[in-house]
Homo-oligomer: A and B are copies of this chain.
Amino acid sequence: MNKGTLYLLPCPISDETTPWEVLPAANRAVMDALDYFIVENTRTARRFLSKAGIARPIDTLEFRELNEHTAPGAAVEELIGPLLQGRSAGVISEAGVPGVADPGALVVEACHRHDIRVVPLVGPSSIILAMMASGLNGQSFAFNGYLPVKPPERARAIRFFERRARTEEQAQLFIEAPYRNAKLLEQLLQTLAPETLLGIAIDLTAPTAFVETHSVAEWRKREIPEMNKRPAIFLIG
C-alpha cells in the first residue's frame, strides 16, 4: 500500500494579514485535498483554514493536536498511523512555518523514520524575514530561540552571543515572549558594547512592520520603538 505524504503548511504570522497575502496561491490545491491535520492548536488551525476559504467544510476535517503537552514517542507514532495507511496529512503550527521552533518537528522526525514523504510549502518565517531585512551578514547566522529569563543568566547569554557574532562573523537571532520585549531590549542596550550591531524586527508582514539595524551606541540616542505585546525578533551582528 502506498503511504500518505506529510505536507508542512505555513500560515500567517500576523493577524493583520489575510492568508493569501503571505502564502502562494499554489498552497491552496494542497490544502483543498487534505482531510487530516496535525496542528499545534485546533482553534487557530480551523480559523486559518476557514479564512483561507478551502474547498471542504471545516466540520468534515479531522484535527489532532501536537503541542508542548504531547508526550514524544507513542503519541507521535499514533498521529502518523493514518499516513502509514495511505492518508496524507497537513501540519499547521500556531503561526508561520511549522517544524521550526515548534513541536511539529516531532512528527516530521517520525515520518523520516517510517519513510513517509515530507513536503514543505512556502510561507512566512519571521526568522528569515528578519534576517533578510536586517542587513547583517547572511553568509552565516544562528537562530537561538529564547534567552534565559533571569537577568544574570540572560546577561551572560547576551555576552556569549555577542562574542560569537564577533569571532565567527555569525549573526545571532533570538526571540522573547512579546510582553517581555521591552525589558529584554533595555537589557540588550545596557549589556552590549556600543559598536555592536543590534537589529530589531517587529510585526513582520503587518502594515505596522518595523525593521531597523543600528549600532548599540546609535540605538541609545534614538527613540525606542514601542514593542509591548508585538511579536519581535532580535539580531546581534
Residues of A within 8 A of B (CB): 8, 20-26, 97-102, 104-106, 108-112, 118-120, 122-125, 127-145, 170, 204-205, 209, 211-214
Contacts of A214 in B (CB 8 A): 112
Nearest B residue to A136 via CB reads B105
Q: List 16 A-B contacts (CB under 8 A).
A: A8-B133, A20-B25, A20-B26, A24-B24, A99-B133, A100-B128, A105-B134, A105-B137, A108-B135, A112-B213, A118-B212, A119-B133, A119-B211, A125-B125, A125-B128, A127-B128
Q: When A and B form their complex, which 8 residue pairs have the shortest distance between CB atoms, in order from nearest?
A: A108-B135, A109-B135, A100-B138, A142-B142, A99-B132, A21-B26, A120-B133, A120-B132
The answer to whether B145 and A133 have CB atoms under 8 Å apart is no
The answer to whether B145 and A142 have CB atoms under 8 Å apart is no
The answer to whether B140 and A213 have CB atoms under 8 Å apart is no
Contacts of A125 in B (CB 8 A): 125, 128
State A21–B122 Cα separation when bound (angstroms). Answer: 9
Contacts of A141 in B (CB 8 A): 100, 142-143
Supposing A122-B123, A128-B100, A212-B112 touch, asked if A105 and B138 sit within 8 A by C-beta, the answer is yes
State A81–B127 Cα separation when bound (angstroms). Answer: 29
The answer to whether B204 and A120 have CB atoms under 8 Å apart is yes
Nearest B residue to A137 via CB reads B105
Contacts of A109 in B (CB 8 A): 135-136, 213
Contacts of A213 in B (CB 8 A): 109, 112
Contacts of A20 in B (CB 8 A): 24-26
State A80–B130 Cα separation when bound (angstroms). Answer: 21
Supposing A8-B133, A132-B97, A211-B118 touch, asked if A23 and B22 sit within 8 A by C-beta, the answer is no
Contacts of A143 in B (CB 8 A): 138, 140-142
Contacts of A129 in B (CB 8 A): 120, 122
The distance from the CB of A45 to the nearest CB of chain B, in whole angstroms, is 17
State A42–B24 Cα separation when bound (angstroms). Answer: 25
The answer to whether A101 and B138 have CB atoms under 8 Å apart is yes
A98: contacting residue among B100, B111, B132, CB under 8 A? B132
